[in-house]
Amino acid sequence: MIFVRTGPRFLFLRTPDTGKLKDVLVKKLSGLPVDFTEAIETAGESDTIVLIVPREVEEAKVCSADHIVLLPIGSSVTLSKLINLQLGELLASAELGAGLLVQRLPQKNTRVIDIIKEDYQGQALGLIEAINVGKADDTIVVFTGDPLQKTVEIDKVIEPCLLIHQPIPQMYTELRREAVRYFTQSLENSEWYEVRINIYDADENYDIHTRRLELVLEDLEAGLILAEIWTRDHALALFSVAAYQIRLFTMIDPLELKTLLMGLEYDENGRRFVDMDLYHRRSKIDWGTIAKKSPFGRKKSGLYYRGELFSRLSPQTVKKLQQLEKELKRS
């Protein structure tokens, strides 16, 4: 589970011919012309967002950029390539902006943002303002409730952002060390849910169903797996069945987690091909508590939650789940 990661770097370039410099970045450095929102939502950790501004502009800001180009290389590599291109008067100056860190919060808990602000004497600003004000030795910390292995949509950014006057290597080291504490403080009652998931399968395809569950937990960054063990479920007197149990620390409410499990219990045709029971503390979270909220019957309710689950997953994870289900059909 990722609590904090780096983001792209911002580079302001001044030039007497913004259009010509944009073409150079596109043709020579494989750049992609984008708008600001697309740049933020598309850029990876090792990318550079170049903002091309006219030479006569006194203060380089996002709003003063004639063009924005996303480069699939880091800022230091970008600068070295620009030097080697020998652009002459086409490149009037280059100014490196603040570094960017993305921190995950389980919910919109501005109290934790205030704690980080106080700990690091940060400035609470909007994202664009932070980019405009930040310098090369500053760090912008952006907060989101979404998993961090995916790119962050601009409307999923929890504002305010924090502009911290420390270089990004130092801030990344410190926030990576403290991220779990901050994350826990932003949980309701500052407490994780400790749950158990029992997998039952009459066809004994436990390896495949366990991998399916792990893929979902990984994609959603839903928590930390504590253990995987075999157990016996004494559902009836003098009768027990084997189950493969996964013990999990999660920030997801058990009722919501149960809906995810229901989505995994059904195949694409609405056939229930595995049972996944969820226990929180000593109580079983019954499927009926969830299904009765759906206007459909049990079978369609399973299909509904399968669709809801798949809509939250990355295309890569959905493809892997579909491949595993094909293995189930062959077994």
CA atoms within 13 A on the CB side of 220: 22
Instruction: Yes or no: say if 49 and 81 are a contact pair by the CB < 8 Å rule.
Output: no
Q: What is the pLDDT of residue 231?
A: 87
pLDDT in tens, the chain (331 residues): 889 999 999 999 999 999 999 999 999 999 999 999 999 999 999 999 999 999 998 888 999 999 999 999 999 999 999 999 999 899 999 999 999 999 998 766 678 899 999 999 999 999 999 999 999 999 999 999 888 887 888 888 888 999 999 999 999 999 999 988 888 888 777 778 999 999 999 889 999 999 999 999 999 999 899 999 998 776 555 566 788 999 999 988 898 899 999 999 999 988 899 999 999 988 888 877 666 665 555 556 778 889 999 999 999 999 999 999 999 988 7
- The three-point CA angle 142-147-152 to 5° equals 50
**What domains are there in the chain, each with its CATH number?**
4-185 (no CATH), 193-330 (3.30.70)
Instruction: Yes or no: say if 130 and 163 are a contact pair by the CB < 8 Å rule.
Output: yes
Tokens representing 192?
Answer: 């994780």
Q: What is the pLDDT of residue 290?
A: 67
Compute the residue count for the chain. Answer: 331
Q: What is the pLDDT of residue 26?
A: 97
Tokens representing 89?
Answer: 């008067």
Report CA torsion sign: 280, 286, 289, 293. positive
Instruction: Yes or no: say if 1 and 221 are a contact pair by the CB < 8 Å rule.
Output: yes
- Burial of 35 (C-beta count, 10 Å sphere; 0-12/13-18/19+): exposed
- DSSP codes of every residue in 226-279: EEEEEEEEEEETTEEEEEEEEEEEESS-HHHHHHHHHHHHB-TTS-B--EEEEE
Torsion over CA of 318, 320, 322 and 324, rounded to 10 degrees?
Answer: -150
From residue 199, alpha-carbon distances to 274, 275, 328 in Å are: 7, 6, 15
CA atoms within 13 A on the CB side of 116: 33
CA 204 to chain centre: 33
Q: What is the largest CA-CA distance in the chain?
A: 87
